[in-house]
Amino acid sequence: MGIQRAQRASLALTLNYVAFALAVSAVTTSYWCEGTRKVVKPFCMGTVKVKQTYCIRFNSSNINDTRLVQYIYETGEEKFLMRKFHAGIWFSCEQTVDLIGFNCRSFLEITPDHERGVLWLCIVAECLYIALLFTGGALMVIEMCPCFNLINRLKLNAFAALCTALSGLFGMVAHMMFTTAFQLAVQMGPEDWRPKTWDYSWSYLLAWGSFGTCMGSAVTVLNHYTKTITEFKFKRRTIEKKLRIKQKILELDMPEDLWYINSLQEQADQHTALYVNGNQPSCFNPTILDNWDREYC
């Protein structure tokens, strides 16, 4: 048996919540990209009692004594240090000199001046993505409220599907614009930031995972809407057909009992046809003509 309407609505709402949580997690973190920078080691300051790998050490501890000849033992690649960094939409953080903590600065400062429009487009699209995703989820919650009739639920469902689909579109644009902005910063950004190696990180994966879940929610909502419309139209055509048959029987002055028996037989034939086609009917109500204007099953 296929997924019932309530189950489809719950599935769409769950996917929307997951997409919203992943989107917020991705936007508020700065691990969209991470890598390393190759920098020259700074000189070791003060008295050096043990060998420090993150700075260049002189052969004499008294670096202020100009009478001494001081030698640097590090040569070749030993003079360089690989610092880790990670960047997101808002910040870019790089390891400190002692490789213990991180120093962060705005990613807007790193992006080239003539290319900051791409990053602003990414920020606006991300905000619209989260806002529309939240709106679609709110409409899905309101739709599940039992105080609305079928027509109002269908209207809310249509708006929820529209908001969710549009949010997925904005999310895709935002993720692609960040990729473009970061690659431009790598090529034309400041010299003291350009990385030696870099790759996408877990925040970037969360962002695209949110996009995929969002589109899954949109497809589920659209499926829920179209299937409800199809079932409603089929039920309406069946009721109209029964009303026309009843009208013809009344015009021919046939007994009411004969009409009732014929109505039950036609409904049984329709349910048998549904079973033959592989669809299990949701209900069997012989008095459906008395409450045809209510929501079915």
202 has pLDDT over 70:
yes
pLDDT at 71: 53
pLDDT tens-digit map of 77-113: 566 778 888 999 999 998 887 778 888 888 988 888 8
pLDDT at 279: 46
Give the other-Cβ count within 10 Å of 106's Cβ: 10
Give me the residues paired with residue 83 across strands: 37
pLDDT at 175: 93
188 has pLDDT over 80:
yes
Q: In the chain, which ranges are continuous DSSP H helix?
A: 5-27, 107-110, 116-143, 150-188, 202-251, 256-276
Least confident of 9-13, 109-113, 227-231, 263-267: 263-267
Percent of the chain whose predicted confidence (pLDDT) is above 90: 28
pLDDT at 213: 94
pLDDT tens-digit map of 109-159: 888 888 888 999 999 999 999 999 999 999 988 888 877 777 788 888 888
- What's the pLDDT band for 29 if we cut at 50, 70, 90? very high
- What's the pLDDT band for 204 if we cut at 50, 70, 90? very high
CA dihedral 224, 228, 234, 236 (to 10 degrees): -170
pLDDT at 286: 41
pLDDT tens-digit map of 46-70: 555 556 666 766 655 555 555 555 5
4 has pLDDT over 60:
yes
pLDDT at 262: 55
Give the other-Cβ count within 10 Å of 171's Cβ: 27
Q: What is the mean pLDDT of the chain?
A: 77
Beta strand pairing call for 80-87 and 91-95: antiparallel
On whether the CB atoms of residues 102 and 96 are closer than 8 A, the answer is: yes
Q: Which residue has the higher pLDDT, 141 or 41?
A: 141
168 has pLDDT over 90:
yes
CA distance 220 to 3: 11
pLDDT at 66: 54
pLDDT at 58: 62
| Cα 129 from chain centroid (whole Å) | 8
9 has pLDDT over 70:
yes
Amino acid at 215: M
pLDDT at 80: 74
Average pLDDT over residues 2-27: 85
CA distance 38 to 58: 21
On whether the CB atoms of residues 118 and 189 are closer than 8 A, the answer is: no
282 has pLDDT over 50:
no
Average pLDDT over residues 163-169: 93
